[in-house]
C-alpha cells in the first residue's frame, strides 16, 4: 500500500487491478447460478480465466487513486486549442440524471417516450436556428463521425443527381485535421489547399483547384489558426458555381454563436461537436455527440430515425425515407448528451449563448496580446476563440521547443495547449482558453508562460528537463508509438 503522503500527492506506483486482491475477495450480491458446464458444450469452455478478484472497496480506491493522477477541467485550466475544454455546468448533469431520461429503455415505444423525443426535437430545432441550417440529424456519435455522415449525404445527393464524376474533396491546410481522413473513408480524392500569407484560403488557389470533379470543399471557420475566413462568401459562391457543396467543420463553433451562422455564409452541410461547444464532458475518448446540419435540398438524405411532431403536438420517430442514407448510430445515438446540450441551450438562452462566444473571443485575445511580448505570433492580428503562437525563434535561440514549453506548463499546474497543429506553423502552440475562465486564471497562465520563456533563455536545461513535478516525467514517445504494450499479461 502507498503511504499517506504518496496517496495525497498521487505519487505512488499504482499496480494494475489484476495485481491487487486475493481469490474469493470479490463481493457477491447474487446467489451462484448453475455452472457453465450445464449449458455450454466443452468446446466453448476455457480452462482458466484470470480475472481480478477484488472487493468493491478496493476497486473504488484503485480507480479513485488513478483518477488523482490525471488532469481534468474540474481540476485546473485546460487551454487545449481546437478542443474547447470549457466548464461543464452541473445543471446539465442534473437534467441528464432525471429518471425519465436516465432509465428510459431504448426500445420504449414512442407514446411512452414523448418527453425524450421532445428533447431531441427541441434540440434539433435550436441548432437549426443557431447555425442557420434547414435541419439537423442527431444520429452521429462524435465530430469525425459527423464528417463521415455529411460526406455520405453529399455522395448520395450527387448520385441521385447523376453526377458520378464528382470525386474530389478540397481541404485547406487550415481545416480541422480529421477532414482529409473522413473524405478518404468515403472514397473521395483529397486535394489540399495551401493558405495564403494571411492564413486564409486564397481565392485564386481555390479557383485553380475547382472543377466539374469537385464534390465538397471542407472548411473550418474560424480556421485552425483562430482566424475568420473573411472571404467566405466569395469562397462558397465559387464552389457553388462549379456545382460543389460547402462543408462546415464545427470544431470552432464556440466562436460563432450569435455572431455568424454557417447557413448564412453559404454552407450546405455542417457538423457540431456538442461535447465541445455545448459543454459536455469529453477528453480521454469519452462519448461525444456530432449532429449534422444540412441545407434544404439535402434534407431528404438525412439518416434515420428523425423526430417529427404532428399538429396535435405528438412526437414520433420516423424510420423510413427513400433517399435517406440509412442509420449511422444505433438507437437514439448518445441521447444523454442531447439532454445536456439542450439544458445548456435553455439555461443560457439566445443572449447567453451570444455572450459565451463573445467572452471566448475576448479571453483568447486577452492572452494573445500579452503573449506576443515573449512569443512569436505568425499571424499577428485579432483572433477569434483561439490563437496560434510559435516557439520557432525560441528554439533557434535556446534549443527549447514547443514540446518543452508544453511540458513545463504541466509542472506549473496547467494542461498543455495543443502543439504541432496546425502543421503549417512550425513549433506552434494553439491556445484556446474558453469563456468560462476568470481574469485571474488567465493572468496566472500568462505569468507562467512568460516565466517559462524567461527561464528558457536563462537556463534552458531547466525547461528541457520538465516536467519534474508530475507523477510521470518525460515518456519515451518513440517507444510508445513503435512498441505499444497495451495488454496486461498474467504471471501464471
Partner 1 sequence: MAQPAGLLYSKEHEWLKVEGDTATVGITDYAQNSLGDIVFVELPRIGAALKQHANIGVVESVKAVSDLFTPAGGEVVEVNAALEADPALVNRDAFGDGWLYKIKIDASSMPDALLGPDDYEKLVATS
Per CB under 8 A, residues contacting partner 1 are: 403, 419-421, 423, 426, 477-478, 481-482
Beta bridge partners of 195: 201
Give CA–CA dist 80/282, Å, rounded: 12
Ramachandran category for residue 248: left, alpha or beta (phi over 0 → left; psi -120 to 50 → alpha): beta
Peptide bond into 222 cis (omega under 30): yes
- Shortest Å distance, C-beta 183 to partner 1: 15
Closer CB to partner 1, 92 or 390, in the complex: 390
CA-CA distance, 401 to 404, in Å (whole number)?
Answer: 5
For residue 371, the number of C-alpha atoms closer than 13 Å in the C-beta half-sphere is 33
The nearest distance, CB 177 to partner 1, in angstroms, is 9
**Residue number, 97 or 393, with CB nearest to partner 1:** 393
> Would you say 257 and 356 are in contact if contact means Cβ atoms under 8 Å apart?
yes
Least CB distance to partner 1 at residue 209 (A) = 15
Q: Considering the complex, what minimum distance in angstroms separates the CB of residue 406 from partner 1?
A: 11
Q: Is 261 or 474 the residue whose CB approaches partner 1 more closely?
A: 474
State in angstroms the smallest separation of the CB of 424 from partner 1. 11
At 398, list the grid cell: 535556446
CA distance 123 to 361: 25
How many Å apart are CA 399 and CA 252, to the nearest integer? 32
Choose among 128, 364, 120: nearest CA to 254: 364
Comparing CB distances to partner 1, the nearer of 156 and 419 is: 419
Grid look-up 436516465 returns 102
Q: Where are the beta strands (DSSP E) in 138-209?
A: 168-172, 189-193
In whole angstroms, the minimum distance from the beta carbon of 276 to partner 1 comes to 22
- Closer by beta carbon to partner 1, 4 or else 481: 481
Write the secondary structure of 154-166 as one string of H (helix), E (strand) and C (coil): HHHHHHHCCCCCC
Pick 478 or 489: Cβ nearer partner 1: 478
CB-nearer residue toward partner 1: 374 or 420 = 420
For partner 1, the closer CB: 133 or 425? 425
Instruction: Copy the grid coordinates of residue 255.
Output: 466562436
Q: Cα separations (Å) of 272 from 180, 231, 247?
A: 17, 22, 12
Q: Quick one: 46 or 482, whose CB is closer to partner 1?
A: 482
Shortest CB 85 distance to partner 1, Å: 21
Q: How far is the CB of 290 from partner 1 (least distance, A)?
A: 23
Nearer to partner 1, 47 or 476 (CB): 476
Geometric angle at alpha carbon 358, from 357 and 361, rounded to 5°: 85
For residue 292, the minimal CB distance to partner 1 (Å) is 26
Q: How far is CA 332 from the centre of its chain?
A: 20
Q: Cα separation of 245 and 56, whole Å?
A: 54
Closer to partner 1 by CB, 191 or 280: give it. 191
CA distances from 229 to 107, 203, 440 (A): 44, 11, 31
**Minimum CB distance to partner 1, residue 251 (Å):** 18
Nearest to 228 by CA among 276, 260, 258, 206: 260
Distance of alpha carbon 278 from alpha carbon 405, whole angstroms? 30
SS (H, E, C) 12-49: CCCCCHHHCECCCCCCCCCCCCCCHHHCCCHHHCCCCC
Closer of 82 and 343 to partner 1 (Cβ)? 82
Nearest-approach distance from CB 81 to partner 1, in angstroms: 15
What secondary structure letter does DSSP report for 376?
A: B
Q: At its nearest, how many Å lie between partner 1 and the CB of residue 423? A: 6
Q: Which residues pair with 269 in a beta bridge?
A: 247, 294
Amino acid at each position: 500500500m502507498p503511504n499517506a503522503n504518496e496517496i495525497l500527492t498521487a505519487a505512488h506506483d499504482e499496480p494494475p487491478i489484476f495485481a491487487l486482491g486475493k481469490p474469493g475477495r470479490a463481493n457477491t450480491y447474487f446467489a451462484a447460478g448453475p455452472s457453465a458446464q450445464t449449458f455450454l458444450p466443452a468446446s466453448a469452455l476455457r480452462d482458466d480465466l484470470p480475472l481480478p478478484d477484488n472487493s468493491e472497496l478496493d476497486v473504488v480506491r484503485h480507480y479513485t487513486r488513478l483518477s488523482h493522477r490525471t488532469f481534468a477541467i474540474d481540476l485546473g485550466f485546460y487551454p487545449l486549442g481546437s478542443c474547447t475544454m470549457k466548464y461543464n455546468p452541473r445543471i446539465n448533469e442534473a437534467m441528464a440524471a432525471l429518471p425519465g431520461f436516465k432509465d428510459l429503455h431504448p426500445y420504449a415505444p414512442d407514446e411512452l417516450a414523448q418527453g425524450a423525443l421532445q428533447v431531441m426535437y427541441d434540440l434539433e430545432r435550436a441548432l437549426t436556428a443557431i447555425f442557420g441550417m434547414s435541419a439537423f440529424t442527431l444520429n452521429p456519435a462524435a465530430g469525425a463521425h459527423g464528417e463521415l455522415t455529411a460526406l455520405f449525404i453529399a455522395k448520395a445527393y450527387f448520385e441521385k443527381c447523376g453526377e458520378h464524376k464528382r470525386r474530389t474533396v478540397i481541404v485547406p491546410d487550415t481545416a480541422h485535421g480529421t477532414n482529409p481522413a473522413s473524405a478518404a473513408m468515403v472514397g473521395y480524392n483529397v486535394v489540399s489547399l495551401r493558405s495564403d500569407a494571411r492564413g486564409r484560403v486564397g481565392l485564386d488557389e481555390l479557383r485553380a483547384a475547382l472543377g466539374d470533379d469537385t464534390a465538397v470543399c471542407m472548411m473550418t471557420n474560424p480556421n485552425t489558426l483562430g482566424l475568420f475566413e473573411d472571404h467566405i462568401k466569395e469562397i462558397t459562391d465559387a464552389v457553388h458555381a462549379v456545382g460543389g457543396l460547402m462543408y462546415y467543420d464545427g470544431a470552432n463553433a464556440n466562436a460563432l454563436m450569435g455572431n455568424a451562422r454557417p447557413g448564412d455564409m453559404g454552407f450546405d452541410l455542417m457538423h457540431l461537436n456538442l461535447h465541445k461547444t455545448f459543454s459536455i464532458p469529453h477528453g480521454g475518448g469519452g462519448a461525444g455527440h456530432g449532429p449534422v446540419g444540412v441545407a434544404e435540398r439535402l434534407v431528404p438524405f438525412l439518416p434515420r430515425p428523425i423526430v417529427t411532431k404532428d399538429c396535435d403536438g405528438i412526437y414520433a420517430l420516423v424510420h423510413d425515407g427513400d433517399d435517406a442514407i440509412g442509420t449511422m448510430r444505433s438507437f437514439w445515438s448518445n441521447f444523454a448528451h442531447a439532454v445536456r446540450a439542450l439544458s445548456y441551450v435553455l439555461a443560457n438562452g439566445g443572449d447567453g449563448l451570444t455572450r459565451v462566444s463573445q467572452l471566448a473571443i475576448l479571453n483568447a485575445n486577452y492572452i494573445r496580446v500579452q503573449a506576443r511580448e515573449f512569443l512569436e505570433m505568425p499571424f499577428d492580428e485579432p483572433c477569434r476563440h483561439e490563437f496560434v503562437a510559435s516557439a520557432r525563434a525560441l528554439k533557434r535561440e535556446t534549443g527549447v521547443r514547443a514540446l518543452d514549453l508544453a511540458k513545463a506548463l504541466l509542472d506549473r499546474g496547467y494542461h498543455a495547449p495543443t502543439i504541432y497543429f496546425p502543421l503549417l506553423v512550425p513549433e506552434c502552440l494553439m491556445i484556446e482558453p474558453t469563456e468560462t475562465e476568470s481574469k485571474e486564471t488567465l493572468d496566472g497562465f500568462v505569468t507562467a508562460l512568460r516565466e517559462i520563456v524567461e527561464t528558457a533563455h536563462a537556463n534552458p536545461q531547466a525547461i528541457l528537463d520538465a516536467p519534474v513535478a508530475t507523477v510521470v516525467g518525460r515518456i519515451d514517445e518513440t517507444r510508445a508509438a513503435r512498441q505499444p504494450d497495451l495488454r496486461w499479461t498474467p504471471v501464471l
